[in-house]
Structure 1
Amino acid sequence: MSPGFSYRHLYYFWVVAKEGGMARAAERLGMAVQTVSTQVRQLERSLGYVLLKPAGRGVVLTDAGLAAMRQAEKIFQLGEQLPAVVRDAVGAPSVRLIVGISDELPKLAVQSLMQRVMQEPNLKLLCLVDEFEDLLGDLALHRLDVVLADRAAPLNPNLKVYSQSLGSSPIAWYAPASLYAAASNSFPQSLAQVPVLLPTRHAAVRSRLDQWFERIAIQPHVIGEFEDSALLKTFGAAGMGVFPMASLVHEDLTSRYAVMRLGDCEGVEEHFFAIGASRQVLHPLVQKFFPAQD
């Protein structure tokens, strides 16, 4: 950029281009036409190109003028945002928290698990849902502050993360209204006849469900398996099949999805964990997930 370049000259050019003529621009700026014209000519000299050419009673942009106008639009649009940016910067300080949520974790349970940080008055929360292994990688690279999952992080000397149990919830079976009568008749033996939806083996609770079926000698009539717990309950609530879900979310599940509880999945629980990276221990909200940490 030439030493003679001036943002004031660029601004006058921008107004002229938007107004389509020197006279209209001068009227908008409250200046003499000659003054505006002189400012634009100085910009053209500093850039080394003609930016405007006469067209009837006004002016139009040359090819160089079009390029300059595109840049001027970006510059002055940013300038218009400046007051709001400054106002936000000196306003109430915010606390940003980036949470990775394992895709097999019941989404209704996440709200309950997050209650310990939701009271932060200036919280800016970003929640990302992904597969467990991918979330651990992002956590190790400090792209996430904390991960919520249905299992602890595996022991790995190359993966500097640590886990904290957030508790557990018994598993219960739920049915849409269309299947409730058939499923409730001789439950849980009825699970061998009615359509059943299950989490995939990607979910930690799946192996415990399979062991439960073996223990009570039932071969379930499985017609669907889902990696994402939200899809599992959505298809179940739509009438596709009965499904297991953590009792922790019973109230929300029955009120929002109009499903009914069939009975307990005795001895089977969903476990909840927070997983953090060592460098993140100082984050004030991450500490709320790790009460034992000093």
Structure 2
Amino acid sequence: MARQFNYKHLHYFFTIAREGSIVKAAEILHVSPQTISGQLTVFEQSLGVALFDRIGKRLVLSEAGRLAYSYAEDIFSLGDELQQSLNAQDLIQQFVFTVGVTDAIPKILASSILETGFQLEGAIKLVCREGDFDALLAEMALNRLDLILADRPLNPGIPVKAYSHLLGESGLSFYAKTNSAAALKEGFPQSLNHQRFLMCGDKSNQKLNLQSWFDTELIAPNIVAEFDDSALMKYFGQSGHGIFSTASIIEPHVTSQYGVAVIGRTEAIKERLYAISPERKVKHPGVKLLAEAARELYREYVSKLV
């Protein structure tokens, strides 16, 4: 039978590592340095590893110590959140709702969905994290995210307990600077052949879909640049450096914001939006609200196509 983990020892270790010395940790914990030192030795013996390397009078975290410290940091951070959530007297404590948004999601689409989070009853603090899909998924695995908005679902067999929820899909629109758009509209999509094209980066699911569609349509655009940041790609398109594409659902925003014109659309490529959550059935009030807001946006988009 495994020995029960001693969280008091973990707290001693965490404080020593955070403060950088046993003496400072003893002052904060209101115990003697001898007590702290003894408890650390007991903790290391129970784990079977050295958490610090002793260099003269200095304590430096060992490789095992750095790993233990990262877990301790998460454990005590979650403990603080639990205490705040259960403190009935602190009625003005803000409800923290943390959402990760992948780089590939258009900012206007993400903001339109996320702003509905302020409709939640009571005080809310919305925390937005942006990054690539894998990095955000790692954050969710550590319970640091309540939701991820992504352009792809989870791959089968991924070692993270999370679930994909399709929120909606739209076709793809292609844009060019207004003074060259009229000529490119004729014969679309073959008019894209050999034209300067601004491609989304490898972090976007759109890139692979576009390349496959180009091959099917026997189109060979001249790809002059690739962008992980979709907003930067639009600015380059606005300046006339090439044709670019976005999900059709944000077409009105793109044409008005960047002064470009639509040269064509295709429904053969689908841009999808997924909510990745820790729950198979969405129960979190914030996640439910945002998911419904996203689905409503896509319903409005589909109704305009009919």
Instruction: Verify same fold: TM over 0.5.
Output: yes
State the Cα deviation string for residues 62-95 of structure 1 (Å, max 9, x = none). Answer: xxxxxxxxxxxxxxxxxxxxxxxxxxx9775533
Paired letter, 2:211: D
Shift of 1:218: 0.8
Q: What is the match of residue 220 of structure 2?
A: 219
Relative to the length of structure 2, the TM-score reads 0.60
State the Cα deviation string for residues 25-59 of structure 1 (Å, max 9, x = none). Answer: xxxxxxxxxxxxxxxxxxxxxxxxxxxxxxxxxxx
Shift of 1:275: 0.4
User: When the two structures are aligned, how many residues end up with a matched partner?
Assistant: 203
Do the aligned partners of 1:99 and 1:147 also contact (CA within 8 Å) in 2?
Answer: yes
Q: What is the match of residue 195 of structure 2?
A: 194
Paired letter, 2:103: D
Shift of 1:118: 4.3
Gap regions ≥5 residues in structure 1: 1-88
Q: What is the match of residue 239 of structure 1?
A: 240
CA distance in 2 between counterparts of 1:154 and 1:128 reads: 21
CA distance in 2 between counterparts of 1:181 and 1:190 reads: 11
CA distance in 2 between counterparts of 1:199 and 1:111 reads: 20
Q: Secondary structure at the match of 2:166?
A: strand
What fraction of aligned residue pairs are identical, expressed as a percent?
35
Q: Does 1:134 align with 2:135?
A: yes
Q: What is the match of residue 253 of structure 1?
A: 254
Q: Secondary structure at the match of 2:191?
A: helix
Do the aligned partners of 1:280 and 1:286 also contact (CA within 8 Å) in 2?
Answer: no
Q: What is the match of residue 149 of structure 1?
A: 150
Paired letter, 1:251: P
Q: What is the match of residue 119 of structure 2?
A: 119
Higher-Rg member (1/2): 1
RMSD of aligned Cα (Å) = 2.5
Gap regions ≥5 residues in structure 2: 1-88, 293-306
CA distance in 2 between counterparts of 1:201 and 1:157 reads: 20
Q: What is the match of residue 210 of structure 1?
A: 211
Q: Does 1:158 align with 2:162?
A: no
CA pair 195-156 structure 1, distance change in 2 beyond 3 A = same
Q: Secondary structure at the match of 2:129?
A: strand
Q: What is the match of residue 284 of structure 2?
A: 283
Shift of 1:162: 0.8
Q: What is the match of residue 94 of structure 1?
A: 94
Shift of 1:280: 11
Q: What is the match of residue 85 of structure 1?
A: none
